[in-house]
A and B are shown apart, each in its own frame.
Chain A
Amino acid sequence: AQKITQTQPGMFVQEKEAVTLDCTYDTSDPSYGLFWYKQPSSGEMIFLIYQGSYDQQNATEGRYSLNFQKARKSANLVISASQLGDSAMYFCAMTQRDGNNRLAFGKGNQVVVIP
């Protein structure tokens, strides 16, 4: 069974600073995908970034980057140059690469960006 662990308490980060959100996972599958989603206070789930287990490069999408350490089974999200609009819950998720894209989610990390 897949398991995603996000254990950091709520975080306060200064505007324009970088923040790293931790995510570890457990799976016996050799092929899987890792995702980060953002959930602002309005409630919608917003896809941020994806990393495939066989991808050689760490994924980047604008201010978001994924620090993928396969041997350690970690997939930390780095948000650079934080903005007030980054205040939200952030969820790490994974799926098996069996073609169905079912997601198993972690409990989430709360981030509050302060001016």
Chain B
Amino acid sequence: DAGVIQSPRHEVTEMGQEVTLRCKPISGHNSLFWYRQTMMRGLELLIYFNNNVPIDDSGMPEDRFSAKMPNASFSTLKIQPSEPRDSAVYFCASSSNGVPEAFFGQGTRLTVV
């Protein structure tokens, strides 16, 4: 298996622009997580899906952030409009019910200027 695949690996955008981050979970996994990593706040959970349904989005910082999972093999995290404080590494992870560990993608390093 190729593991969790995220794209792009790096994104530089101007403030106010829309940014879309993409994730392909490991085949057969039915839980998907979006995390954000910053120096100030560390790793924090943004949103979690189970069987393509958003279960907990309490970590989404504000309405500018939205996430979708239209099918079991694809998810997006969208920021519109982006702001410099959104600069961070965004990780997608997936896991299978009944198996404790979650596997992470390589992350997307987002820089908003």
Contact = CB atoms under 8 A, between A and B. Distances in A.
Interface in A1-58: 33, 35, 37, 43-47, 50, 52
Contacts, number: 57
Q: Which of under 10, 10 to 19, 20 to 34, or 35 or more describes the interface residues of A?
A: 20 to 34
Interface residues of B, number: 26
A95 B103 CA distance: 14
A99 B97 contact: yes
A108 B78 CA distance: 27
Given A101-B31, A108-B42, A44 B106 contact: yes
Nearest to A51: B100
Interface string B20-62: 0000000000010101000000111100101000011000000
Contacts of A33: 100
A50 B101 contact: yes
Contacts of B93: 45, 103
Interface of B: 31, 33, 35, 42-45, 48, 50, 55-56, 89, 91, 93, 95, 97-98, 100-107, 109
27 contacts: A33-B100, A35-B100, A43-B89, A43-B109, A44-B105, A45-B91, A45-B107, A46-B104, A47-B101, A47-B102, A47-B103, A50-B100, A50-B101, A91-B43, A93-B43, A95-B100, A100-B31, A100-B56, A101-B31, A101-B95, A101-B100, A102-B45, A103-B35, A103-B43, A103-B93, A105-B44, A108-B42
